[in-house]
Every structure is written in C-alpha cells, then in structure tokens.
Amino acid sequence: MNKIKSLFIGMFPMFAMGISGYGIYYLATSGLNFIWLGAVLITMPIMLFISRVMMFKSVARTTLHFPLLTLTAIIGLALSMYGYAVSIFSPLGTAESNVFNNVSIVLACTGFVFFILYNFWYSSLGREVNQALRIGKPLPLFEALDIQGKLINSDIFNGAPMIYIFFRGNWCPLCMAQIKEVATQYKKLSSLGAKVVLCAPQPEKNTQVLADKFDVPFIFLTDADNRAAQTLGIEMKNGLPAGMEMLGYEKDTVYPTVIITDATGAIIYSDLTNNYRIRPEPEDFIEVLNRHAQLA
C-alpha cells in the first residue's frame, strides 16, 4: 500500500497545479464556466497549501481533515456538477463543446477524488499498536551514528530526561517545521534538565546540514539502514515519496515519533501519530517534563 501512496503523493500536487492553472487561464480568457470554476475551487486551495508547506517549511501540523478546504472542495464539486448539468440540456451545445465539457467534468471529479484520497487515505499512516513503546516501559536500546559518524548505543543517554524525535528526513517540510519549533524552546527544555535527540534515516551529510542550520545543543543522529527504526518498531516500509531517491534517501523511512524518557530510560511520554500532519507541540513536552518533575 505504501508503494501506491509513494506514487500518489508524487502525482497529486502536479495534477492539482495543472488543473487549477488551466482553470484560472480558461476563466480569464473564456469567461465564467461553472465546471472550471468548481475545478479551481477543488484543486487550488490544497495546491496552495502544499506549495506553502514545501516552500516555507513553517507548518508543523494541521487540522485532522481540513474542514475549510473540504467544504470548499464540496462546493466546487457542486458547482462543477451544476455547470455540467446545464451544459447537457443547453440547446446551444455543439459536439465540440460537449466533448470539452465531458473532459472538464471528468477532470473536476478526478481532482475531488484525489483531494479526498490525500485528506483521508494518504495522510493516515496505518500504524499498528506498538507495545514496546508504551508509557512505563523502558525504551528499547538502539544504535545510530552520531554527528562524527561514530556508532553509539542509546544507553549513553541514561541519566537525564531525554526527548527523542524520530523524523523522516530533511526532505519532510512538516518535520523541519516541528524541529524548528523545538529549537526555539530549547532553553526552556534545557532548564528542565532535558536533552533532545533528533534521529532520521538519511545520508550523514544531511544530518550535518541540519545540525549546522539550527546551531542548538541537540544530539543529531543518523539512523543508518533504518536499524534504530526497526529495533523500535517504527520503520515505515516504502514510505519515501517517489522520486526522492534521487536525493540520496532510501525508500524505507520512519514513522514520525516522539518519545520522552526519564533519567532511568523509562518512557513517560509517547506520541505515535497515525497522521503525518498531526504532530505534538513543544508545550506538550514541557508539560510532561513539569508533571514528571513534580511527581519525582
């Protein structure tokens, strides 16, 4: 299934861009057409959202199912269907215009189906229950490469509260936005005695770029061959969007995961999101650490 999702996310933004772009052009040059007005309402909002996420990397999370965008898409579909119904019964229709309208309504409906698939199917990760990462259990030991390329064992982190953020890689804009949020709160997290570990299955040079970019005292790790993800049960097989292999990434990635442990290595917080657009906020980590400190 993830292989299909990988191909889907490679096609959907380009399809939405093509439909919305042509729709705007057609409306500007040929006047009002309800089929194409609806098609633009279906595809343009989500295309703009994805473009903003990819370009600025400032969106760390969204609502679960885009209520406003979904409503706009439904209105767009209704307008397209209305426009098509009017064209069918119009006495002015020609064979050429009928073919054009048939193609137009198919594109509009396809755009709506693609949006629904992205919203409800692609965004859902389909994770299974992970018993090993339940609160109260010790975090399983794993190995990863540090920023110098040295293989280390996670038991070296025992002795202080740890925030482990397993992210998909520098290519993931929501991951980058989430890390940026955590970086802005590192002083507060540090004051609570916590250290932050960032771990991703990506080329070591990309991890170095990330460390240089944020310049905060985080621990940056590279999960070579996804071994840590496999150990923890958070590997996402075939989770890389199609085409990203050209940038040096492997097709298997990791489910976005945040784990907080106490000084003994026991898990006190575990966020195993089942939607890649839903992420915890740094304030959640601060609340957990404060609550744990009060109970200690």
Domains of the chain, residue spans: 2-122, 132-295
* C-alpha neighbours within 13 Å on the C-beta side of residue 196: 28
Question: pTM higher than 0.75 for the full model?
Answer: yes
Q: What is the DSSP string of 179-230?
A: HHHHHHTHHHHHHTT-EEEEEESS-HHHHHHHHHHH-SS-EEEE-GGGHHHH
Q: Are 79 and 38 in contact (CB under 8 A)?
A: yes
For the domain 132-295, what is the CATH superfamily, name and number? Glutaredoxin (3.40.30.10)
- Residue-level pLDDT, tens digit, the chain, 296 residues: 899 999 999 999 999 999 999 999 999 999 999 999 999 999 999 999 999 999 999 999 999 999 999 999 999 999 999 999 999 988 877 888 999 999 999 999 999 999 999 999 999 999 999 999 999 999 999 999 999 999 999 999 999 999 999 999 999 999 999 999 999 999 999 999 999 999 999 999 999 999 999 989 999 999 999 999 999 999 999 999 999 999 999 999 999 999 999 999 999 999 999 999 999 999 999 999 999 998 86
What's residue 296's pLDDT? 67
Find where tokens 């760390």 sit.
60
Residue 36, SS3 per DSSP: helix
Q: Are 260 and 192 in contact (CB under 8 A)?
A: no
Cα separation, 256 vs 253, whole angstroms = 9
What's residue 266's pLDDT? 98
Q: What is the DSSP string of 266-287?
A: BEEEEE--SBTT----HHHHHH
What's residue 182's pLDDT? 98
- Nearest 5°: CA angle at 94, between 93 and 95? 130
Q: Are 238 and 252 in contact (CB under 8 A)?
A: yes
Spacing of C-alpha 12 from chain mean position: 14
